[in-house]
């Protein structure tokens, strides 16, 4: 941004999140505001919400080309040209709790793998965090796997590929179009988030039921930046940005953890339904077949699957409260 920069004598970044405007107020705006305040005029981050400057599917491309400087998204949604993008967003049954995600990244070695993969394609991977679990919000009650058959579902590409075997038809549309698409019949269900986001994004107005079984316990997403832009940032502002990303991750951890429980416990506008655990077990088993297929794609995906397996085995072994039964 040479023209504007010369005028303002400060670094200006355009950061686009994949969250829509309403949700962004909770999950990214506070961190950006905090950064801008603390940067004290030396640097300013301008926040853009889902599809505002560029369509979500083009986020990676736009960041690489410099149309935007930074992105908050999962690898799957932003369509990263890296083999590990399948693990971003909701990789089926990779995590049980949101805390699993940072543990996998920072204690089990995913961070190094991500850093290397994105360096190869000229983008700086900055930091990963967890969001909410992935449940279904629907207009008809889902009480058995068979009820999912034939539903057109707004969901993440990878989750959609996985769920297709149970008869759902995954549909991708811009995030902000979801409520209208529910009403115009373009989609019949949403498998994109936990119950907190169903409320925050206003999807509660167009759905009636919430399926408590989840496909994943925690969304895995990251902050990314155009590598050149990141290198231009002075060290002290890099540190500040890191702190703000951490604070954003931290806030989401308790916001979702508490939100999911509270909205389920207090009930209200969505009726909760469940598929019996024994039946849901078939979905979980199918996920492990899916893992093995993904592991065959590249040595790197094999490595990630190996880590996921090791981690889940450790958690099983650790027993309660890490894993029950």
Partner 1 sequence: MPDALKTYVRVVDAFNRRVGRIVMYGIFVLMGILLYSSASKMMLLPANWTLEMAQFVMAAYFLLGGAYSLQLDSHVRMDLLYSKWSPRTKAAVDVVTILMLFVYLFFMLYGGVSSTAYALKFGETSYSAWSPYMAPIKIIMVVGIFLTFLQATSILIKDVATAIGRPLA
Partner 2 sequence: MSYEMIALLMFSSMMMSMLTGQRVFAAIGVVGVVAAALLWGNGGFELGFSANMKLLKWYALLTLPMFIFMGYMLSESGIAEDLYKAFHVWFGGVRGGLALGTIGLMVVISAMNGLSVAGMAIGATIALPELLRRGYDKIMVSGVIQAGSSLGILVPPSVVMVLYGMIARQPVGQLWLAGVFPGLLLALLFAIYVVIRCWINPALGPALPPEERDMPLIEKLKLAQAGVLPFLIFFLMMGLFLMGITSLVESSAVGALGSLFAAWFKGRLTWEMWNRVLEQTLGITCMFMWIIMAALCFGAVFDGLGAVKAIEGLLVGEMGLGPWQILILMQVSFLIMGAFLDDTAMLVIVAPLYIPLVGKLGFDLVWYGVLYTITCQIAYMTPPFGYNLFLMRAMAPPEISLIDIYRSIVPFVLIMILGMIIIMAFPQIALWLPQHVYVRG
Tokens of 154: 């707004």
Q: Which residues pair with 273 in a beta bridge?
A: 211
Tell me the C-alpha to C-alpha distance, in Å, between residue 150 and each of 168, 172, 194, 208.
5, 16, 22, 18
Enumerate residues 6+ apart whose C-beta is below 8 A from 124: 118, 224, 225, 226, 227, 230
Rg of the chain over Cα atoms, rounded to whole angstroms, equals 20
Q: What is the largest CA-CA distance in the chain?
A: 64
The one segment of 65-73, 80-88, 298-306, 312-320 that binds partner 2 by CB under 8 A: 65-73
- Interface residues for partner 2 in 153-182 (CB under 8 A)? 173-174, 176-177, 179-182
| DSSP summary character for residue 216 | B
Residue 47, H or E segment: strand 43-48
The one segment of 72-80, 158-166, 183-191, 216-224 that binds partner 2 by CB under 8 A: 183-191
- Interface residues for partner 2 in 8-37 (CB under 8 A)? 14
C-beta neighbour count of 321 within 10 angstroms = 7
Among 56, 135, 213, 273, binds partner 1 (CB under 8 A): 56
Instruction: Using the minimum distance from each CB to partner 1, give the nearer residue, 170 or 218.
Output: 170
**Quick check: 300 binds partner 1 (CB under 8 A)?**
no
Instruction: Using the minimum distance from each CB to partner 2, give the nearer residue, 117 or 270.
Output: 270
The one segment of 32-40, 60-68, 160-168, 213-221 that binds partner 2 by CB under 8 A: 60-68
Instruction: Using the minimum distance from each CB to partner 2, give the nearer residue, 3 or 324.
Output: 3
Tokens of 105: 């990244």
Residues at the site binding partner 1, with contacts judged by CB under 8 A:
56-58, 61, 64-65, 76-79, 81, 121, 149-150, 152, 155, 157-158, 160-161, 164, 169-173, 186
Residues at the site binding partner 2, with contacts judged by CB under 8 A:
1-4, 7, 14, 46, 48, 51-55, 57-58, 62, 65-69, 139, 173-174, 176-177, 179-186
């Amino acid at each position: 941004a040479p023209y504007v920069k010369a005028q303002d004598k400060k670094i200006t970044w355009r950061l686009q999140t994949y969250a829509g405007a309403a949700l962004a107020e909770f999950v990214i705006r506070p961190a950006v505001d905090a950064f801008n305040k603390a940067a004290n005029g030396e640097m300013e981050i301008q926040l853009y919400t889902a599809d505002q400057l560029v369509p979500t599917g083009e986020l990676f491309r736009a960041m690489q080309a410099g149309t935007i400087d930074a992105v908050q998204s999962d690898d799957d949604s932003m369509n990263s040209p890296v083999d590990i993008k399948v693990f971003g967003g909701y990789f089926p049954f990779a995590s049980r709790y949101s805390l699993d995600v940072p543990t996998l990244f920072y204690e089990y070695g995913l961070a190094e793998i991500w850093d290397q993969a994105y360096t190869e394609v000229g983008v700086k991977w900055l930091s990963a965090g967890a969001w909410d679990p992935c449940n279904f919000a629907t207009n008809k009650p889902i009480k058995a796997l068979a009820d999912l058959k034939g539903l057109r579902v707004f969901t993440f590409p990878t989750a959609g590929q996985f769920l297709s075997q149970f008869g759902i038809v995954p549909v991708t549309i811009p995030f902000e179009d979801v409520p209208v698409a529910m009403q115009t019949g373009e989609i019949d269900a949403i498998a994109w988030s936990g119950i907190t986001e169903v409320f925050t994004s206003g999807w509660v107005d167009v759905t009636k039921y919430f399926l408590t079984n989840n496909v994943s316990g925690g969304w895995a997403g990251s902050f990314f930046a155009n590598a050149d832009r990141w290198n231009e940032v002075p060290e002290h502002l890099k540190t500040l940005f890191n702190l703000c990303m951490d604070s954003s991750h931290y806030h989401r951890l308790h916001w979702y953890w508490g939100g999911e429980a509270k909205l389920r416990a207090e009930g209200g506008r969505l009726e909760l339904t469940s598929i019996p655990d024994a039946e849901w077990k078939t979905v979980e088993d199918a996920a492990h077949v899916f893992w093995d297929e993904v592991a065959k794609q590249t040595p790197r995906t094999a490595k990630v699957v190996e880590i996921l397996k090791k981690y889940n085995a450790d958690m099983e072994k650790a027993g309660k409260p890490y894993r029950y039964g």
